């Protein structure tokens, strides 16, 4: 598993929203975090569709968290972006060699531990105190 730029940017932006506790414009997030506005717009579209962020339209509009930062985990962010949470493809799909594969059990166990780790880290733990 490798965290992509998309997931890294999404997490940085969501940390910023959690710290500010207010509506932030996408332009201000992009500028402060040094992320392409167009790319961030695509990321936020996915986060909004999955119910992690909401948008307020208009002059004083922007984005805000829809959930308490203590209820948003890294797993939620990865899931919202469609990021794979596995080291090998055979864990995500039905592998035809699964019944004969001696490594299958190990990969499944590693995948469970990765998911557990991602679900244990909450956005609230990442904001500045």
In the chain the first and final C-alpha atoms are separated, in Å, by 29
Q: Structure pTM?
A: 0.83
How many domains, in total, are found in the chain? 1
Print the domain residue range for 75. 5-125
Q: 31-67: per-residue pLDDT in tens?
A: 999 999 999 999 999 999 999 999 998 888 899 999 9
Q: Tokens for 70? A: 């203590």
Q: 64-100: per-residue pLDDT in tens?
A: 999 999 999 999 999 999 887 777 777 666 777 667 7
User: Residue 87 maps to which CATH number?
Assistant: 1.10.10.10
């Amino acid at each position: 598993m490798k965290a992509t730029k998309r997931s890294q940017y999404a997490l940085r932006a969501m940390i910023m929203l959690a710290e500010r506790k207010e509506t932030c414009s996408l332009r201000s997030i992009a500028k402060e975090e040094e992320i392409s506005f167009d790319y961030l717009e695509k990321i936020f579209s996915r986060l909004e569709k999955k119910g992690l962020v909401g948008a307020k339209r208009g002059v004083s509009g922007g984005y805000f968290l829809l959930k308490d930062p203590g209820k948003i985990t890294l797993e939620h962010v990865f899931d919202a972006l469609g990021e794979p949470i596995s080291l090998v493809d055979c864990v995500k799909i039905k592998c035809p060699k699964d019944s004969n594969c001696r490594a299958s059990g190990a990969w499944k166990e590693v995948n469970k531990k990765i998911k557990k780790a991602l679900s244990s880290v909450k956005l609230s733990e990442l904001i500045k105190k």
